[in-house]
Amino acid sequence: GAVVSQHPSRVICKSGTSVKIECRSLDFQATTMFWYRQFPKQSLMLMATSNEGSKATYEQGVEKDKFLINHASLTLSTLTVTSAHPEDSSFYICSAGRQTNTEAFFGQGTRLTVV
């Protein structure tokens, strides 16, 4: 299967700081990547759709100025959590799929803890 790599797997940061999470497609080009958030014992909730070379599309209720998404190349999308607060602590997961089919592959996830 396709490989999607996400980094870091775990990060602890102080309140008010910013954290960047990277999502890379290792063996295919992805014009579209997706960012999800997962709270403990809950399912994945779509935050935003990252489009290569254009602005991301955010889901209702997701602050675009707080969760900055950059998709500068066909293999890399980044999510930056700005001015992090403890309530931003969560598991963030990216996904990507090949252009030729609809299967979606997920990164390993990033556990963010804001203290």
Partner 1 sequence: QKEVEQDPGPLSVPEGAIVSLNCTYSNSAFQYFMWYRQYSRKGPELLMYTYSSGNKEDGRFTAQVDKSSKYISLFIRDSQPSDSATYLCAMSATGRRALTFGSGTRLQVQP
Number of residues located near partner 1, criterion CB under 8 A: 27
Longest Cα pair distance anywhere in the chain, in angstroms? Answer: 42
Least distance from partner 1 to the Cβ atom of residue 100, Å = 9
Q: Which of 65, 87, 102, 115 binds partner 1 (CB under 8 A)?
A: 102
Q: Considering only 14-22, 68-76, 80-88, 97-105, which stretch makes contact with partner 1 by CB under 8 A?
A: 97-105
Task: Choose between 44 and 68: whose C-beta lies nearer to partner 1.
Answer: 44
Residue with tokens 């030729």: 100
Q: For the residues of 34-101, what is the DSSP string, one character each?
A: EEEEE-TTS-EEEEEEEETTS--EEPTT--TTTEEEEEEETTEEEEEE-S--GGG-EEEEEEE--TTS
Applying CB under 8 A, the residues found at the interface with partner 1 are: 1, 4, 6, 32, 34, 41-46, 49, 91, 93, 95, 97, 99, 101-109, 111
